[in-house]
Amino acid sequence: MFGDIFADIFGGGGRPRRGSDLRYLLDLDLEEAVFGCDKTIEVPGIVACDGCKGSGSADGRSKTCPTCRGQGRVRMQNGIFSVQQACPQCRGSGRVVETPCAQCHGEGHVERTRRLEVRIPAGVDSGDRIRLSGQGEAGPAGLPAGDLYVEVRVREHAIFQRDGDDLHCEVPVRIAQAALGAEIAVPTLDGEVSLSVPPETQSGQAIRMRGRGVRSVRSGRAGDLICRIVVETPVQLTREQRELLEQLDASMCDDDAAQHSPRAHSFLDGVKSFWSRVTS
């Protein structure tokens, strides 16, 4: 189902000089927003009647309004006051159609769902609006139609989070890859590329791939892809793997422990000094 739709409210008083503008919320996948696409949307609304071309008359002829005798205004008695107001039958025009159009019952407009083709330019983001001139609601009695604003809303993506023209993604790596450095295949919107993870990369570290983000619909410049490295703790170890890991760990718990795991070491120091302060 496409997004919902509602008419904008005219500001201030006075008679509208054209039909209402409409807003249409269009949900797009990230790929559709990034690369652009053609969409068919179904817009419910009020359009000028085909049968009478908006005049409301079956034969194009009109006659003087019998209610106001062509004055466009009528006097209403309100207590002791006599008040003038617009004629309810002709809505102030002073004329009514002789034979009402059968299709619209003389209204000049009908409710109809229209199918429209919308070209979405590449690089749009949530909140961007595409204006379709004259595709809003039909104007009253032959006045021009309003505009239709198609407002883009980009859906969440399974891999990428969008931040303006930048894309963010998490890249899980193994402990050894993070420690020794590695070439990792990462997805981009243009396909897979190789990401160089430098040696001694910590979990949470971000690596920026320039120009691998979204090409801006306004500036034409491409944003970046920001890969956040997540070091994955190995699970379901075999007996052999467990022994190797224990050996490795033992080798790092000697006198040089601070050198191999500086954060863990300074954390432990902090904990020690915390307890000594608490207990002293």
Q: Site size for Zn ion, by CB under 5 A?
A: 12
Cβ neighbors of 46 (< 8 A, separation 6 or more) are 19, 109, 110, 111, 112, 137, 138
Considering the rule CB under 5 A, would residue 52 count as an interface residue with Zn ion? Answer: yes
**Residue 87: both structure tokens together:** 């004629």
Shortest distance (Å) from residue 110 CB to Zn ion = 7
d(Cα 157, Cα 247) in Å, to the nearest integer? 41
Nearer to Zn ion, 89 or 126 (CB): 89
Shortest distance (Å) from residue 73 CB to Zn ion = 8
Nearer to Zn ion, 64 or 126 (CB): 64
Cβ neighbors of 220 (< 8 A, separation 6 or more) are none
Residues 62-121 that bind Zn ion (CB under 5 A): 65, 67-68, 87, 89-90, 101, 103-104
Shortest distance (Å) from residue 85 CB to Zn ion = 11
Nearer to Zn ion, 56 or 123 (CB): 56
Other residues' Cβ atoms within 10 Å of the Cβ of residue 218: 11
Shortest distance (Å) from residue 15 CB to Zn ion = 16
Region of 54 please: left (phi>0), alpha (psi -120 to 50) or beta.
left
d(Cα 225, Cα 227) in Å, to the nearest integer? 6
Shortest distance (Å) from residue 49 CB to Zn ion = 3
Nearer to Zn ion, 67 or 203 (CB): 67
3-state SS, residue 34: helix
Considering the rule CB under 5 A, would residue 138 count as an interface residue with Zn ion? Answer: no
Q: What is the CA radius of gyration of the chain?
A: 34
Shortest distance (Å) from residue 75 CB to Zn ion = 12
The site map against Zn ion for 167-206 (x = CB under 5 A) is ----------------------------------------
Alpha helices in 128-238 (DSSP H): 175-180
On the CB side of 202, CA atoms within 13 Å amount to 7
Shortest distance (Å) from residue 97 CB to Zn ion = 9
CB burial of residue 14 (10 Å; 0-12, 13-18, 19+): exposed
d(Cα 237, Cα 241) in Å, to the nearest integer? 6
Single residue of 5, 7, 18, 51 touching Zn ion by CB under 5 A: 51
Nearer to Zn ion, 87 or 214 (CB): 87
Nearer to Zn ion, 3 or 51 (CB): 51
With contacts defined by CB under 5 A, name the span among 51-59, 76-84, 152-160, 238-246 that binds Zn ion. 51-59
Judged by the rule CB under 5 A, the positions of this chain that interact with Zn ion are 49, 51-52, 65, 67-68, 87, 89-90, 101, 103-104
